[in-house]
Amino acid sequence: MKHVETRPFADPQVAARKLLELAAGVEPVKGRIHIEKINAPFLSKNGCRATGAEFGAGIRYAIEKGWLELHESGTFLKLLPHGEVLLKR
């Protein structure tokens, strides 16, 4: 009998909030955060151990809510004021 492990970041909102935490901990360069600065810790075995699908769903959720902005190149993020306010709660 196989037991299914509960994925903590299967919920896009939970994943998005974790991505906000990671983004807030990164010093922006010219107002932008390199996406790999939050991608690597989110996916790493020593960090969150999330999947690529969970990362993508979290990013999309955060963008839809106005918490993060993704540069058209897909390589940079910007933490928006709504996301900063959410972190202070």
The CATH code of the domain that includes 24 is 1.10.10.10
* pLDDT tens per residue, range 12-50: 999 999 999 999 999 999 989 999 999 999 999 777 889
Rounded to an integer, what distance in angstroms lies between the CA atom of residue 81 and that of residue 47? 26
27: containing domain: 12-88
Q: Which of the two residues, 2 and 65, has the higher pLDDT score?
A: 65
Q: What is the pTM of this model?
A: 0.88
6 inside domain:
no
2 inside domain:
no
User: What is the rounded radius of gyration, in angstroms, for the C-alpha atoms of the chain?
Assistant: 13
Cβ–Cβ under 8 Å, residues 69 and 14: no
Residue 1 has pLDDT above 90, yes or no: no
**Token reading at 54:** 């969970």
> How many residues can be counted in the chain?
89
51 inside domain:
yes
DSSP string, 15-59: HHHHHHHHHHTS--BTTBEETHHHHHHHHSTTTT---HHHHHHHH
Structural domains counted in the chain: 1
- For the chain, first and last CA: distance in Å? 42
Residue 5 has pLDDT above 90, yes or no: no
